[in-house]
Amino acid sequence: MSSKQRVAVIGAGIAGLSAAYHLRDDAEVTIFERNDYVGGHAHTVTVTEGSREIGIDTAFVVCNGRTYPQLMQFFTELDVDLCDHTGGFNFFDLDTGVQFGSEEFELTEEQVAKRYPAEFLTMWRDAERFHREAPRDFLRRRADVSLAEYLDTNGYSAEFRYGYVVLLATAVWSVPAELIWELPASTLIAFYMAHDPGGLGGRSVAWKTVANGSASYVRRALEVIGADVRTCSEIVAVRETDTGVEVVTPGGIEHFDQVVVATHADEASRLATDRPDARAYLDRVAYSRTHAVLHTDPSVVPGDRSRWQSWNYGRATREGRTQSWVAYYMNRLQGFTSEHDYFVTLDCPLQIDPDRVIREMHFTHPIITCEVRAMQDDIYHLNNRSRVKFCGSYFHSRKIGPDLIGSHESAFSSGVHAAAAILRSAPANQSAVSV
Ligand SMILES: Cc1cc2nc3c(=O)[nH]c(=O)nc-3n(C[C@H](O)[C@H](O)[C@H](O)COP(=O)(O)OP(=O)(O)OC[C@H]3O[C@@H](n4cnc5c(N)ncnc54)[C@H](O)[C@@H]3O)c2cc1C
């Protein structure tokens, strides 16, 4: 019989896969996943054009070497093919026809003043000031307040807030516009400092996507991990006993030496009812639900296709309410050519032609607030005791810092840490994971 400890990993998103990957040599790993596929937000839909299959991502799409160091190392170890991607965004207002994008933000002030309306010039000036002043405020810890408070205190215009901040931030954190104001200002500033030091247009970052969709890396990871993977297996409780942990499935109870809970924080709280210490952290993270649609209906982007960028931010006023949405132009984002144009829209208020809808999905994503940011100071202590460890994108990336929360890198980093915590409490002859 094997002397290795038996470890259950609950949730097969990147956090769970990271934990399983780092445990693969030292533990017998069983992965439980509620969905009928592995990957969580690494969710690829395969479309067929003639004899060709194209993998299109619908949630996680991009990463880069600068702010995803551990994830990129993982991809290198798995020998995953990556594609280069030039960023770029375009804002458009469907009602007024106003639009601007990465190229306009790269113009000089004189050029902007000459060619564009006053609304855009105000925004351009505020964006330029924000990128100049905000990093200083970040370093002096003057940005440890909500975004709303930071923008009020520093007198930023409505044009800048609604034409620049909302549009970029809703796409980066996948939450509706009304939730953006509670984001810590430091988190937004850290994002810009890390991603866009060379300009306002978002094109100075060496973005990467996974060739033929993120499911390609998930498949490769599963081959290397070699775990017992149980899809369509929702866990309903985990209970620590004197000798191990009971994992309660709808079909019965299984016993493990230790468990990694790699679900979202609210789901983890419901599973670990006997861990009030952990729930005090987990219950502080609220989630927002996003309706994502993969389709071929171009009515969600401007009529002039030369304006289509990878990230398109639309705005329209309907029944007196201004609404905005994000439309990813997937051909450009993932760098493929095809017969059809493919879009993924998030919370789009427009009617998408039902005949052009390929797949509809719902994803939930943590709402990052000053409280969630503050708990990053000691969240990793959660895994110092108990046989039940936690990980997920609601943790920050330990290599990058407390402002990188909610990404593939932060989820991956927390999985590395959870695996290390499991191995620290394993018999002495087993190797340790370095974090
Ligand atoms: C639309 C969208 C776009 C995004 N784009 C990017 C991007 O381009 N780059 C980036 O870095 N990040 C992006 N993100 C952020 C993304 O959420 C994180 O990068 C990361 O994928 C989250 O990983 P995770 O493992 O924490 O959670 P998930 O991937 O959600 O995995 C959690 C898993 O746990 C499973 N589970 C939950 N409860 C149970 C249970 N009781 N029993 C069994 N299984 C359970 C779930 O089914 C799920 O598979 C995006 C998010 C969204 C919503």
In this predicted structure, what is the pLDDT of residue 244?
95
Q: Which ligand 1 atom is the nearest neighbour of the CA of 17?
A: 25
Low-confidence ranges of the chain (pLDDT < 50): 198-200, 428-432, 434
- What residue owns the CA closest to ligand 1's atom 51? 59
From the list 280, 315, 281, 318, the residue with the least C-alpha distance to 301 is 315
Look at ligand 1, atom 15, and give the residue with the nearest C-alpha: 407
Helix (H, G, I), strand (E, B) or coil at 235: coil
Can you tell me the distance from the alpha carbon of 276 to that of 60, in angstroms, rounded to the nearest whole number?
32
Instruction: Indicate whether residue 33 lines ligand 1 (CB < 6 A).
Output: yes
Nearest to 209 by CA among 327, 61, 54, 86: 61
Q: Helix 14-23 crosses helix 215-225 at what angle (to 10 degrees)?
A: 30
pLDDT at 430: 44
| pLDDT at 427 (0 to 100) | 56
pLDDT at residue 336 in the model = 94
For 102, the token pair is 């990465």
Which helix H or strand E contains 260, and what residues bound it? Answer: strand 258-261
The minimum-distance atom of ligand 1 relative to the CA of 292 is 1
The torsion region of residue 428 among left (phi > 0), alpha (psi -120 to 50) and beta comes to alpha
Q: How far is the CA of 301 from the centre of ligand 1 (A)?
A: 26
At residue 432, the pLDDT reads 47
Residue 152 Cα to ligand 1 midpoint, Å, equals 33
Q: In terms of Cα–Cα distance, which of 344, 359, 363, 362 is closest to 301?
A: 344
Which atom of ligand 1 approaches the CA of 414 most closely?
Answer: 26
**Sign of the alpha-carbon torsion through 75, 76, 80, 82:** positive
Q: How far apart are CA 47 and CA 100, in angstroms?
A: 31
Taking the whole predicted model, whether its pTM rises above 0.85 is answered as yes
Q: How far is ligand 1, taken at its centre, from the CA of residue 175, in Å?
A: 14
Quick count: other Cβ atoms within 10 Å of Cβ 432? 11
Q: What is the pLDDT of residue 199?
A: 47
- Decide whether any atom of ligand 1 lies within 6 Å of the 234 Cβ: yes
Residue nearest to atom 52 of ligand 1 (CA): 59
Instruction: Tell whether ligand 1 has an atom less than 6 A from the beta carbon of residue 174.
Output: yes
For residue 399, which of 87, 407, 284, 140 has the smallest C-alpha distance?
Answer: 407
**First and final C-alpha spacing in the chain:** 30
Nearest CA to ligand 1 atom 31: 13
The DSSP code sequence of 158-205 is HHHIIIIIHHHHHHHHT--GGGGGGSBHHHHHHHHHHH-TT-SSS-SS
Question: Which residue's CA lies nearest to atom 12 of ligand 1?
Answer: 407
Which of 263, 282, 285, 290 for mutating ligand 1's site (highest number of atoms within 8 Å of CB)?
A: 263
Residue of 31, 37, 60 to test ligand 1 pocket, by largest number of atoms within 8 Å of CB: 60
How would you classify the pairing of strands 5-10 and 258-261?
A: parallel
- Is the shortest distance between the CB of 175 and ligand 1 below 6 Å? no
Residue whose CA is at the smallest distance from ligand 1 atom 34: 11
Q: Is the CB of 62 under 6 A from ligand 1?
A: yes
* Token code pair at residue 165: 């901040």
Residue nearest ligand 1's atom 20 by CA: 408
Containing 148, the helix (H) or strand (E) segment is: helix 147-153
Q: Which residues of 194-227 are buried (b: 16+ CB within 10 A; e: fewer)?
A: bbbeeebbbbebebbbbbbbbbbbbebbbeebeb
Domains and CATH numbers, the chain: 5-43+214-283+369-424 (3.50.50.60), 107-196 (no CATH)
Give the pLDDT score at 202: 59
Closest ligand 1 atom, CA of 365? 53
CA 401 – ligand 1 centroid, Å:
20
Gap from CA of 414 to ligand 1 centroid (Å): 13
Tracing tokens 């969630």 back to the chain, one arrives at: 372
